[in-house]
Amino acid sequence: MKTATIIALNQKRAAREAVAFAKNLSDGSEFLLPDDAAPEALNAAGLAALAADKTGTHIIGNESWFIEARNPAPRLILVGAVHIAQALAPLASMSGFEVILVDPRQGFGNQDRFPGASMVNEWPDEALDVLKPDTRTAVVTLTHDPKLDDPGLDRALKSTAFYIGALGSRKTHAARLERLTALGHTPEALARIRGPVGLDIGAVTTPEIALSIVAEIVAARRGGSLGTRAK
Partner 1 sequence: MIDAEDILSVAAAWHQDGEQVAVATVTETWGSSPRPAGSRMAISKSGKMAGSVSGGCIEGAVADVAGQVMATGTPKLLDFGVTNEMAWEVGLACGGKVKVFVEPLT
56-60: strand order across its sheet: 30-33, 19-24, 63-70, 56-60
CB 212 within 8 A of CB 199: yes
Residue 68 is a binding residue for partner 1 (CB under 8 A):
yes
CB 64 within 8 A of CB 57: yes
Binding residue for partner 1 (CB under 8 A) from 11, 57, 106, 181?
Answer: 57
* Secondary structure class of 225 (helix, strand, coil): coil
Residue 25 is a binding residue for partner 1 (CB under 8 A):
yes
CB 51 within 8 A of CB 73: no
Select 60 or 189, whichever has its Cβ closest to partner 1. Answer: 60
Q: How far is CA 126 from CA 63, 76, 153, 154, 165, in A?
A: 51, 17, 12, 11, 19
The rounded distance, in Å, linking the Cα atoms of 173 and 127 is 23
Select 24 or 172, whichever has its Cβ closest to partner 1. Answer: 24
Show the site string, 175-214: x = touches partner 1 by CB under 8 A, - = not.
Answer: ----------------------------------------
- Least distance in angstroms from the C-beta of 28 to partner 1: 5
Show the site string, 84-123: x = touches partner 1 by CB under 8 A, - = not.
Answer: ---------xx-x-------------------x-------
- What are the residues binding partner 1 (CB under 8 A)? 1-3, 6-7, 9-10, 23, 25, 28, 55-57, 66, 68, 93-94, 96, 116
